[in-house]
Copies of this chain bind each other. A is one copy, B any other.
């Protein structure tokens, strides 16, 4: 039933190889013939079978997107942007959800490897060494994880965390808690590192609570601890946890920002909808998706091929660049942060308001500066 290259050949009175050329190397075919073939193809509704084509060219024109948790509102904008970018380049996208599970990630890379030209690993939970190993099986681009020798798309959450801490310190907070993210998260470590350093500089004390699941519930569950810790401000690993914390504090009768200030990370769309509206570090998710796809498909000419073109037994020259792109983040100040117990008093070191890209509230325009290529 489905129409094949042979049907088109028959209808247009040429050999199948001519039809093939019409689609994959049109300049090699007589214009008149081309027109005729194209007309017949159109007529019959012919579309080349990509799987069959892949078998011989070694290029599937598919990519894989491996996501820790599709339902986490951080990811859909990334998926959407990546898919859109891929489709513009005539690629189709497999999406798979790992439920934050490292083993599932590994299995998925194996399973997808033969069907795709490359895989985007988003916020992986696997070990670095495993990722490196898998990258020998299929081209990988890693999002939200820094790995020497592999192409990575990073968001500068370190800078973001620093801005957040400086913002809090500037408001007069000296005892600050950090709600850590999940184990195995590069982002979480990065935030912790930068927040710790910034706190030291600002003369504030940072208490780390966690690791926690990166969910609303993860934040909610720490509300009690936060109160006990006696801090006046909290930086959460992500907005979801911050929002959960907001709920938890509300339930405990702790007023935000009067008694405790809360800052999140990501600026997911909900963050403008909570009461109080959440102060957060905006993260360029869509840009990350687009960039990652671009990096994966950069030289879509020299992705690996299994076809004969490479010569028997020869490993084809896969010129893999390992550029790492760092995307800017930005602190968006809303209503969940306010003056702390030391407001107005002099503060050791630092100026009234720390450096770094801050912004008072909204609207929705593009907030992402172009990424810096950090290495290549």
Contact = CB atoms under 8 A, between A and B. Distances in A.
A83 B95 contact: yes
B113 A47 contact: yes
B115 A92 contact: yes
Most buried by B among A50, A93, A115, A274: A115
Interface in A268-288: 269-270, 273-275
B114 A49 contact: yes
A84 interface: yes
A374 interface: no
Nearest to A318: B1
A92 to B, nearest CB: 5
A233 to B, nearest CB: 21
Interface in A51-99: 51-52, 54-55, 60, 62, 65, 69-71, 73, 75-77, 79-80, 83-84, 87, 92-97
Nearest to A79: B70
Contact of A111 (B47, B65, B84, B113): B47
Interface string A109-137: 01111110000000000000000000000
B92 A94 contact: yes
A33 interface: no
Contacts of A73: 73, 76, 269
Contacts of A1: 304, 306, 315
Nearest to A99: B84
A87 B247 CA distance: 35
Contacts of A157: none
A306 B2 contact: yes
A199 interface: no
A370 to B, nearest CB: 22
A37 interface: no
Interface string A279-311: 000000000000000000000000010100000
A243 interface: yes
A83 B55 contact: no
B110 A83 contact: no
Most buried by B among A51, A55, A94, A113: A51
A49 B97 CA distance: 22
A96 B97 contact: no
A270 B216 CA distance: 11
Contacts of A113: 2, 47
Contacts of A96: 83, 87, 92-93
A108 B205 CA distance: 54
B83 A77 contact: no
Contact of A247 (B60, B69, B93, B273): B273
Contacts of A315: 1
Contacts of A269: 73, 216
A62 to B, nearest CB: 8
Contact of A70 (B76, B273, B306): B76
A276 to B, nearest CB: 9
Contact of A93 (B49, B60, B94, B275): B94
A179 B331 CA distance: 35
A71 B60 contact: no
A318 to B, nearest CB: 10
5 contacts: A47-B114, A55-B55, A71-B76, A247-B273, A273-B274
The 5 closest A-B pairs by CB, nearest first: A275-B275, A95-B95, A51-B51, A70-B80, A270-B270
